[in-house]
Amino acid sequence: MHITITGMLGSGKSTICKIISEQKGYEIYSTGKIQRQVASQKGVTTLELNKMMVEHPELDSIIDNETIRISDENKNRTIIFDSRMAWFFVKESYKIFLTVDPFVSAQRVTKADRGDVEGYADVHEAKLKLIERAQAEHERFIRIYNADYWDYCNYDLVLDATWHDPDTLASIIMGHMDLFMESRKKEQIILMSPKSLYPSFTVKNGSNIQKDTKFWNAANVQIISRNHYNYILKGHAVVLKALENKTELIKVLCIKDNQADNLIIDNDSVNLFESMGEFKYSSLPDNVI
């Protein structure tokens, strides 16, 4: 059984892969490194290479075919695939996705040494370019493979990488990996920091905010992921309690993006959550009123 670790840019997935590899003795196959090498050879940035791939799908196939070959020829070994799309090509694998706040992602990337392929004037430019790059990848993968790597439903474990260091995240992942290896029972787990969940409400046809107490007091936390932010649809009170108790990670359920109405966040709710948890959100989505 192989392991595929996918994540948003700046989620720390490559560092986490290395930690797991060192502790477990598993080999790592990194497609990101290959992509940066191709970009450097062509004298372009990774964002420019992603745009080139739209017109030249053969560039994608170089990475894809190598991923399939390695996984097929090493079925009796455990290999970690550090890759955006390995979850799609490596059929027999434990699939992990790391999500991270966009601003935190930009902060991490600007501090990382990625050579001359990627460079940003400041963290705000980095955030915009990283989102643009991720969107280009996202659209290309859907067009070529009809596969949405942002969809949490595609993974066995979804883990919020915003508030924890790579060693802690690697430890959490290895714990869940070991449980899965023992039981071989497929059960999706989504673990989010309460400090990464935004209290959202629905707006229909330009009407007022709909704050349904039934949804607010729901027993289970249900979220939707949109534009790299995670919105609470149900279970707001549970998240508030977790913030008050300083709970680091909670289990949540996720629904498809197209199953929710227009979502907004109001300042009063943001202030309530931050006050209860004694923290500040790393960044805020654009739809805060």
Distance (Å, whole) CA 162 – CA 104: 7
pLDDT number for residue 168: 97
Query: Domain spanning 2-190: which CATH class is it, in words?
Result: alpha beta
Q: Give counts: helices (H), strands (E), the chain.
A: 11, 13
Nearest to 39 by CA among 114, 141, 146: 114
The ranges of the chain with pLDDT < 50 are 116-117
How far does Cα 140 stand from its chain's mean position?
17
Distance CA 92, CA 51 (A): 30
Region at 272 (left for phi over 0; alpha for psi -120 to 50; beta for the rest): alpha
**CB-side exposure of 76: number of CA atoms within 13 Å?**
0
Q: Hey, what are 189's tokens?
A: 């787990």
**pTM of the full predicted structure?**
0.87
| Domain residue limits, the chain | 2-190, 194-277
Segment 170-226, tens digit of pLDDT: 999 999 999 988 887 878 999 999 999 999 987 665 555 556 678 889 999 999 998
